Amino acid sequence: MPIMQILNAGPVMPVIVLRDVAQALPLARALVAGGIRVLEVTLRTPAALDAIRLIRDALPEAIVGAGTITNAADLDAAIAAGAQFGVSPASNPALLAAVRASGLPFLPGTMTPSEVLTARDAGFRALKLFPAQQAGGIGMLKALGSVFPNILFCPTGGIDAAAASSYLALPNVGCVGGSWLAPAALVDAGKWIEIEALARAAAALREPK
């Protein structure tokens, strides 16, 4: 699935940090039941790759990606685990070249106009703005849109349920990334009904394209 289609599959891409692989399937089921199909499982914990494998095998309706990819080794591991797309917090020429060679749909991380230009010139038209709030938030996205009109962003970092709709109203925002859909306290407590409710509210922010 092309990365543009992945960004347009739903308004919010949850940033998922799993410390226990046993939490992967109930969490993913709750999010999908709530209408959130695109799931970014970050490679911040030892459980991440196994979690990606489990979700891919059990929930074909989910679109499962790997986040926090920072080098070619991370990229290879994510692909081997079955990730359908990748996301990086930042990018450099070596990572962008490895991604292009792999063919994996990918969302390179950027924060500055120079980084956006580098990623665009490497052939990427969908980018992550991270950390979005610290980078200037909505004002930064408006400024970037005026000089990079053909770039679609997924702003992530410091965005919550209250702010999401303002970001989604921007023409150069395909979706937003957020950790509020899978907060550690609810995940650790196994409160899947509450997480499904959060997902349902997030899915209602905008109809899928």
Q: Give the amino acid at 110.
A: T
Nearest-angstrom CA–CA distance, 35 and 28: 11
What is the DSSP pairing of strand 63-67 with strand 176-178?
A: unpaired
Structural domain boundaries in the chain: 3-202
Task: Band the pLDDT of 207: cuts 50, 70, 90.
Answer: low
**Measured CA distances, 74 to 42, 94, 135, 202 (Å):** 11, 13, 25, 29
Check pLDDT > 70 for residue 187.
yes
pLDDT band at 206 (very low <50, low <70, confident <90, very high): confident
Q: Which residues are catalytic?
A: 40, 128
pLDDT, average across residues 97-124: 98
Q: Where does the pLDDT of residue 209 fall: very low under 50, low under 70, confident under 90, or very high at 90 and above?
A: very low
Q: Measured between alpha carbons, how far is residue 197 from residues 50, 85, 191 in Å? A: 26, 25, 10
Q: Pick from 27, 7, 8, 5: which is nearest to 16 by CA?
A: 27
pLDDT at residue 66 in the model? 98
- Give mean pLDDT, residues 4-22: 96
Please report, for residues 32, 113, 155, 171, 197, the alpha-carbon distance to residue 24 in angstroms, rounded to integers and kept in the order given. 12, 36, 24, 33, 17
* Mean of per-residue pLDDT scores for the chain: 96
Contact 65, 15 (CB under 8 A): no
pLDDT in tens, 39-48: 999 999 999 9
CA distance 169 to 109: 21
Q: Give one word for 71, left, alpha or beta, with left for phi > 0 and alpha for psi -120 to 50.
A: beta
HEC assignment per residue over 110-169: ECCHHHHHHHHHCCCCEEEECCHHHHCHHHHHHHHHHHCCCCEEEEECCCCHHHHHHHHC
Q: What is the mean pLDDT of residues 122-140?
A: 97
- For 65, phi then psi, to 5°, come to -120, 165
Homologous superfamily, domain 3-202 = Aldolase class I (3.20.20.70)
